[in-house]
Amino acid sequence: MDEAKVIKLYDAKIGSFIRITSIDLEGVMRRRLLDLGFVRGAVVEVIRRSPLGDPMAFRVSQTTIALRKEESQRIEGELV
Amino acid sequence: MKNSYTVALAGNPNTGKSTLFNALTGLKQHTGNWAGKTVSLAEGKVEHKGKTVRIIDLPGTYSLFSNSTDEEVARNYIVFEKPDVTLVVLDATSLERNFNLALQVLEMTTNVIICINLIDEADKQGISINEKALTRKLGVPVIKISARNKTGFTLLLDTIDRIHTGKIVCTPEIIFYDEEIERKIRQIEPLVREYLEDSISSRWVALRLLDGDDSLFQQMEKRLLVKGG
Ligand SMILES: Nc1nc2c(ncn2[C@@H]2O[C@H](COP(=O)(O)OP(=O)(O)OP(=O)(O)O)[C@@H](O)[C@H]2O)c(=O)[nH]1
Ligand SMILES: [Mg+2]
């Protein structure tokens, strides 16, 4: 099987689904994102991007959550 | 056995804690979506089996790791005020999200009931929940209720009473981490226990130490008489 392509959430297209593989953040910010459902293995849908590209809205475990570029650039996953 | 005891309601925002609180106590805590959500502690009473049950409505949070005032208020209450029973109120239609907080509470304290609310809404959506399997897996009672329709209350109150009288013994499932973390817990936990004795779960405090939770340690300094400290 082909290895799935790993991309940053920030670079993902609207409407795509991404299974999270890594979260390169630490401390309170990391904890916050984990609590919001951005955990390894979770599938996230890219909902929309604001006109300037930041923030972006994602759907994760039945809730829509906006992330800033500083966060979405540090979360990676594979397209599903 | 005391004639009065305390039950705290914890849970994510908007899971019906205040609705349950009002239904049990006859009080009128503000309920609803967003506007007027619970930000501080409300207290009420209900009489059950000849005892006075004090009920505390905690602010709703997604976590108890103190990233906000709400989280700190809820965590401090559970850890330092030590309610006799902590009820974690979950939204039956959003269990995956809700279990994050539930598992955090199960690490902090022993006498916990997992209360799955909005079961009427789950039924409508065709979601069925096997509470017996969850009870076995989690080691604490799992009870389905509808705070709005007041269903499941008798079982809930009886279960609270049976925990208080010791007829039900809660044994929350321990969450194990990878070997590196477990090794550090084994090193830290005995030292923690020496200082705190059994006042707070030593495993949980060891985990918080490893996580560098400063706000918790500030609270501990303030509130606890630390031996030799
Ligand atoms: N269908 C249904 N709706 C419920 C039930 N319990 C509560 N609700 C509704 O859910 C919404 C939120 O209820 P609250 O009691 O304010 O929730 P809360 O947990 O106190 O919220 P926070 O204080 O923000 O944490 C309200 O609109 C309630 O009417 C239930 O059992 N079934
Ligand atoms: Mg409330």
The residue of chain B nearest to residue A32, with distances taken between CA atoms, is: B67
What per-residue confidence (pLDDT) applies to B199? Answer: 84
Residue position matching structure tokens 């996230």: A44
Neighbours of B214 (CB within 10 A): 10
* Cβ neighbours of residue B166 closer than 8 Å, sequence gap 6 or more: none
On whether the CB atoms of residues A59 and A25 are closer than 8 A, the answer is no
| ipTM over 0.85 threshold | no
Structural domains in chain B, CATH included, are 4-164 (3.40.50.300), 179-224 (no CATH)
What's the gap in Å between B151 CA and the centre of ligand 2? 19
State how far the alpha carbon of A66 is from the alpha carbons of A38, A59, B91, B94, B215, in Å: 12, 9, 22, 19, 27
Q: Which of A35, A38, A40 to mutate to test the interface with B (most CBs of B within 10 A)?
A: A35
Confidence of residue A2 (pLDDT cuts 50, 70, 90): low
CA of A66 to the centre of ligand 1 (A): 24
Report the C-alpha gap between B110 and B139 in whole angstroms. 10
How far lies B117's CA from each of A34, B8, B37, B90, B113, in Å? Answer: 24, 15, 17, 6, 12
By C-alpha distance, the chain A residue nearest B96 is: A61
Ligand 1 proximity of B31 Cβ (cutoff 6 Å): yes
Task: Give me the pLDDT at residue A3, please.
Answer: 66
The predicted model gives A59-78 an average pLDDT of 93
At B178-202, the pLDDT tens digits run 999 999 999 999 999 998 888 899 9
Q: Give A18-65 pLDDT, tens digit per residue.
A: 999 999 998 888 988 999 999 999 999 999 998 887 899 999 988 899
Report pLDDT for B24.
95
Assigned fold of A6-79: SH3 type barrels. (2.30.30)
Q: Is pLDDT of B158 > 90? A: yes
pLDDT at B38: 56
- Residue B9 is predicted with a pLDDT of 97
For B52-70, the pLDDT digits (tens) are 999 999 999 999 987 788 8
Say what the pLDDT of residue B208 is.
94
Q: Cα(B103)–Cα(B115) distance, rounded to whole angstroms?
A: 13
- Give CA B86 to chain center in angstroms: 4
pLDDT at B165 over 90: yes
- Residue A28's pLDDT is 83
Q: State how far the Cα of B208 lies from the Cα of B194, in Å rounded to an integer.
A: 16
- Element housing A75 (H / E): strand A75-79
pLDDT at B131: 97
Out of A28, A31, A61, closest to residue B96 by CB? A61
Residue B151 DSSP class: B
> What pLDDT digit, counting tens, does each position of B74-121 carry?
999 999 999 999 999 999 999 999 999 999 999 999 999 999 999 999
Which pLDDT belongs to residue B141?
98
Could you tell me how many helices (H) and strands (E) chain B has, helices first?
A: 9, 6
CA–CA dist B184, B103 (Å, integer): 21
Q: What is the per-residue DSSP string for B23-88?
A: HHH------SSSTT---S-EEEEEEETTEEEEEEEPPP-S-SS-SSHHHHHHHHIIIII--SEEEE
Where is average pLDDT lowest: B63-67, B161-165, B166-170, B182-186? B63-67
pLDDT one-digit tens code per residue, B113-146: 999 999 999 999 999 999 999 999 999 999 999 9
Q: Which residue has the higher pLDDT, B29 or B200?
A: B200
CB pairs below 8 Å between A and B: how many? 27
Q: Which of A34, A41, A36 is nearest to A60 (CA)?
A: A36
Mean pLDDT to the nearest integer, A69-75: 95
Residue B34 has pLDDT above 50, yes or no: no
| Ligand found nearest the CA of B61 | 1
